[in-house]
Amino acid sequence: MKANPAHQIVLLDIADIDRRIARVEHARTHPAQGDRINALSAQRQGQLRELTELSGARDDVRTELKRLESDVTLAVQRRDRDASRLAATQNAKDAVALEQEIASLGRRISDLEDAELELMARLEEADAAVAAQQALIDETVAEGTRLTAEAKGLIAAATTEGAQLARDRAALVDSVSPSLMAEYERRAGRTAGAALLRRATCEGCRMVLSGTDLNTIRQAPADEVVSCPECGCILIRTEESGLGGTAAAAD
């Protein structure tokens, strides 16, 4: 294939822009914060499940405490009622029975109040556990929010840079013959597309060409499109190529 040597050199700039576009696109679709954000999301889900369990346990304690408070209230009301009846009775047998029931109710009230105190201590611990878990969630959310904002900033910057690179590329493509550009695009799908031959080395695959390959390239006319025998990209020849007195690319 034949192509203007000057057009061939432009392929180096296009290849460079394509590499930059690829990097920018990767930065846009895979921001550096992405893995950590995903990890925080999973961590938050686990923390929320733990919070649900802790909140459920706390609610159970609250329910039990309310039941005990109700039992204490009923027992106190019954004791007070028996005390009133005791004060009003004239029957010795009834008085003895009431005294015994009042004593029994006193013991029950005491037991219930002890149980209340124990549940109040458990409730305090449960409240502290819920608060601590919520604090962990708040930290996770705060970090996730911060990293998400950073990622959005990087994505926006990458999007802007990508758009500018696309415009720069379009301008360069317009300066290259369509046939040469088509050949570059065909090769770019599996290689660097185009690379400089510098000191007998293909900068696309970093392979040093053999003497035989260099002689073949050295003998090729300046407008001949030559390829790297290793990776197949278009080799651009300049004074840096190390071909000696060759018909290197020129205007």
Q: What is the pLDDT along the chain (251 residues), one digit of tens a residue?
A: 999 999 999 999 999 999 999 999 999 999 999 999 999 999 999 999 999 999 999 999 999 999 999 999 999 999 999 999 999 988 989 899 999 999 999 999 999 999 999 999 999 999 999 999 999 999 999 999 999 999 999 999 999 999 999 999 999 999 999 999 999 999 998 999 999 999 999 999 999 999 999 999 999 999 999 999 999 999 999 988 888 654 443 33
pLDDT for the residue numbered 89: 87
Residue showing tokens 């000057």: 6
Q: What is the pTM of this model?
A: 0.72
Residue showing tokens 């005390």: 83
Interatomic CA distance for residues 193 and 169, integer angstroms: 14
Q: What is the dihedral of CA 213, 215, 217, 219, to 10 degrees?
A: -150
177, two tokens: 């013959």
pLDDT for the residue numbered 71: 95
pLDDT for the residue numbered 246: 41
Are the beta carbons of 223 and 5 closer than 8 angstroms?
yes
CATH 1.10.287.1700 domain span(s) along the chain: 27-160
Residue 193 falls in which region: left (phi positive, over 0), alpha (psi -120 to 50) or beta? left
Host H or E run for residue 130 = helix 92-173
In CATH, the architecture of 27-160 is Orthogonal Bundle (1.10)
Interatomic CA distance for residues 106 and 96, integer angstroms: 15
CB within 8 A of 248, min separation 6: which ones?
A: 222, 237, 238, 239, 241
pLDDT for the residue numbered 249: 38
Cα 99 to Cα 72, 96, 108, 111, 225: the distances in Å are 19, 5, 14, 18, 116
Strand partners, 85: none
